[in-house]
Amino acid sequence: MSATVARRHESRIGEDLDEARLAHGMPVFVLTRPGYDKKFASFATRYGSVDSRFRRPGGDWVTVPDGIAHFLEHQMFAQEYGDAFERFSEYGASANAFTSYTNTTYLFSCTDRFADSLRLLLEFVQQPYFTDAGTNKERGIIQQEIRMYRDNPGWRLSEGIKAALYQRHPFRLDIAGTVESVEAISTDLLRMCWDTFYHPSNMVVSVVGDVDPAEVVAMVEESLAAHPRAEQGPIERDVADEPDAIAKPRVDAEMAVSRPVIALGFKETDTAVSGDAVLLRDMATEICLEALAGKSSPLYNRLYEAGRIDSTFHSYYHGERDFGLSVLSGETADPDAFVSAWMDGVKSLLASGVDPAAFERQKRRMTGEFASSFNSPESLSYALNATHFAGSDLFAYGRLLDGITLADVNARLHQHFDPSRTGVSVVSPKA
Amino acid sequence: MRVFHTPSRKFKTVTIRVYLHAPLRADVATRTAVVPHVLARGTRNLPTLGDLARRCEELYGAGLGAGVAKIGEAQSLYVGVEAVEDRFLPQAAKAIAGSVALLRELLLEPARDAGGLLRADVVAQEKENLAHRIQALINDKIRYSGMRLVEEMCRGEPFGLHAYGRLEDLPQVDAAAVTARYDDLIANAPVDVFAVGGDPSLGDELAAAFGHLGGGGEVPATTVGQAPAEPRRVTETQPVDQAKLNLGYRTPVTLGSPGHGAMVMYSGILGGFPHSKLFRNVREKASLAYYASSRYEPLKGLLVVAAGIEPRRRDDALRIIEEQVADMAAGRITREEFDQTRSGLRNRLSSAEDSPGAMIDMAAEESMVGAVRTLEQRLAAIDAVTDADVAAVARDVRLDTVYFLTSPQEGASA
């Protein structure tokens, strides 16, 4: 017992990060926050909605129903003693979980009885209690959840842009699956997915708060020892053979909204990256988007002043290892005019390159925002997990930001903002 | 003017918000709502959105904001900024001083035209944007149904108005009206400045920057209404997949009354947590809803229950919700429900001390009825609540309005 805890220091923002590697190589990260009452812990597996076809070493390829990772997330809280949520409530903690395209994360925050809650988190995620009655009851709740999302215009818009850009990759589907696909999810399938992906070799724990890192590491180590698992080699995931070309130029939906809402998307095709390159790709893309469409950009100002966009306009980039997209989105009276104005902007930015002064200002802004991100225990914990799954680490961000050059950004601009790989999603008022 | 500053070294940032409070009134609410959006369009020295954004970037990503909030029956215009403390930035960076100066400029030195009015083109555009913002309230069905419940329930009371005002009042809003409203607020509105983070000296800097403001009037008071003898029932239809069932109750207990802590406990036991009666009975036992919760509005004395359900199961959901409220009134509360709610509330109150935004939200609400409490005072108020206290406030909770948003097919048969 007692794994070595290694400490690293980030001098600019005055933060220490402790890390230990435990059984099956599972890392534990602890970021101590002196003076904070709140303690936040998350336990995550690299398993999300896109992992619908996979095989374990020596096994056969399996295809599972869409939405199963999310269903499993719901089902894990059902324990032999009752509901794990309620146990957290007894400890005065607030627990939750969420499923993304690539990860499932279990978390809690508390101010008292941290050790009890951390033991509980580690235990219930490693010790599922599947029953057919539980599976059937949860199905009704999940179908309500899916219906709730369907009434959300932002959700419909984002489903539309994925469907426009992606031909095969399961990223194009809803994380929760469909009312129909969850019908096919059985207790046996849930157990098989848990057994495959909820293995320490595929997981990470991160804790943020005023805690003792050595004690946290010892508790995780103890819990892993209490739930021993056989060695498991790497899981093979079927990364769909997604072409660079988009699926269809435009996807339309109608619902009870006040005005049309539009998303103009650029498909990610730089999909062979890992480690620090993932973080660099994020940074460079963000700078491109700000130079193109940020509030300080000339085009944003021109379009705002002309009434073509308003304060609902925003842009974002979401990139994972093998898929991703950049989006320009907002309400607009005229979706076609929105597209042509921004496409003209992209073409002229491709011709001129990113303005060096804008590049320096964005670096400055991101330096400040990296520091402020350390205010929030939640987002720190998620960032620790995400950078680990990407094959990099949280403290690399500051160093990489210092080193990024205008040439890096312009290279990314030309690689990613390709006018031939764009799609549009529009949600219009229902007549 | 009052300054509420909590110095702290645990955050990376300093967060500042300045409120100008006005009574929420139908005749001026809409033009008041336009003001912050006009201010956010530019100052005398930084006249465009781009100028302001570039200034924020130079200040290492200072986050500048402006808007209106409804705090009880006050319509409060606010401007705010969050900026990284200089000690975490490269040497010689002065992000905090620069951000205070920028916030002051945003509030006090708006760009004006030659005649001294706020710019007519900007007012016209932000008026249009506000119209879109009001119309867009329909897009988020959870928030929309919550807003419609309050609108129906508090019809004729100031609280029934939205902080954005009313679409029908927009045509009367022009540059002269918005300028007059802005000048009036600056001259006469009570002003509260909240800040979290930084050194103790920041409080003095804020007093120097904004000290001349505040007409000396009191912050607007909120009236407490009563439920009608027979509850109102409102059904609205829209093409939705999931129906929204919202119930509004009245309580005479408000922030500042002796029963406040007990009422906070009441709402927590009923529907504030995953262990609460609503979540367990509506969602977990009956598999009826994805969400089912309650929320207490402590300035106005409202308790609001909200659930997202299958359209055809309205009657089941309504029955189970009313059973839970009846159980509360009959004092059918287990020791576990009581103790778990108390520790859950303690956790929430303590955790709020780690978020500058949450600290300011709580302080702003409390400051409307007197002193801002410390965490210890807030915790002590919860700890002091007994079963008998919860039973006492439970007896005075009265159903006022049932609002149901559903699909046209189900609405026709409802």
The catalytically annotated residue of A19, A73, A138, A320 is A73
Positions of chain A with pLDDT lower than 70, given as ranges: 1
Angle at CA of residue A420, ends A419 and A422, nearest 5°: 70
Three-state DSSP state, B140? coil
Question: How is residue A109 written in tokens?
Answer: 């925050």
Distances from the Cα of B36 to the Cα of A273, B128, B130, B362, angstroms: 44, 14, 11, 22
- pLDDT of chain B along its 414 residues, tens only? 899 999 999 999 999 999 999 999 999 999 999 999 999 999 999 999 999 999 999 999 999 999 999 999 999 999 999 999 999 998 889 999 999 999 999 999 999 999 999 999 999 999 999 999 999 999 999 999 999 999 999 999 999 999 999 999 999 999 999 999 999 999 999 999 999 999 999 999 999 999 889 777 889 999 999 999 999 999 999 998 889 999 999 999 999 999 999 999 999 999 999 899 999 998 877 777 778 999 999 999 999 999 999 889 999 999 999 999 999 999 999 999 999 999 999 999 999 999 999 999 999 999 999 889 999 999 999 999 999 999 999 999 999 999 999 998 876 544
**Contact indicator for A317, A286 with CB cutoff of 8 Å:** yes
**Contact indicator for B222, B299 with CB cutoff of 8 Å:** yes
Q: Which of A35, A111, A331 sits opposite B350 (nearest CB)?
A: A111
Interface test mutation site (partner A, options B81, B86, B88, max chain A beta carbons within 10 A): B88
- Residues of chain A contacting residue B49, judged by C-beta atoms under 8 Å apart: 295, 300-301, 304
Q: Is B49 on the interface with A (CB under 8 A)?
A: yes
**CA–CA min distance B94, chain A (Å):** 12
Burial A66-104 (b: 16+ CB within 10 A, else e): bbbbbbbbbbbbbbeeebbbbbbbbbbbbbebbbbbbbb
Describe chain A by its helix, strand, coil percentages, rounded to 5. Answer: 45, 20, 35
ipTM tops 0.90: yes
Q: Looking at residue B289, what is its pLDDT?
A: 77
Q: Looking at residue A21, what is its pLDDT?
A: 97
Q: Does the distance separating the beta carbons of A296 and B57 come in below 8 Å?
A: yes
Q: Looking at residue B414, what is its pLDDT?
A: 45
Q: Looking at residue B201, what is its pLDDT?
A: 96
Q: How far apart (Å, rounded) are the C-alpha atoms in residues A185 and A57?
A: 24
Distances from the Cα of B168 to the Cα of A159, B53, B135, B155, B165, angstroms: 35, 33, 11, 16, 9
Q: Looking at residue B412, what is its pLDDT?
A: 54
Q: Which of B54, B135, B340 sits opposite A258 (nearest CB)?
A: B135
- Residues of chain B contacting residue A95, judged by C-beta atoms under 8 Å apart: 274
Shortest CA distance to B186 belongs to which of B212, B207, B219, B213? Answer: B213
Distances from the Cα of A369 to the Cα of A158, A209, A374, B85, angstroms: 26, 20, 9, 11
Cα B146 versus chain centre, distance: 13
A73 is a catalytic site residue:
yes
pTM higher than the cut 0.90: yes
Q: Looking at residue B411, what is its pLDDT?
A: 63
Interface test mutation site (partner A, options B351, B375, B378, B410, max chain A beta carbons within 10 A): B351
Q: For B268, which residue in chain A has the nearest alpha carbon?
A: A89
Distances from the Cα of A338 to the Cα of A253, A259, A327, B133, B403, angstroms: 17, 14, 13, 19, 37
Q: Does the distance separating the beta carbons of B61 and A372 come in below 8 Å?
A: yes
Q: Looking at residue B409, what is its pLDDT?
A: 81
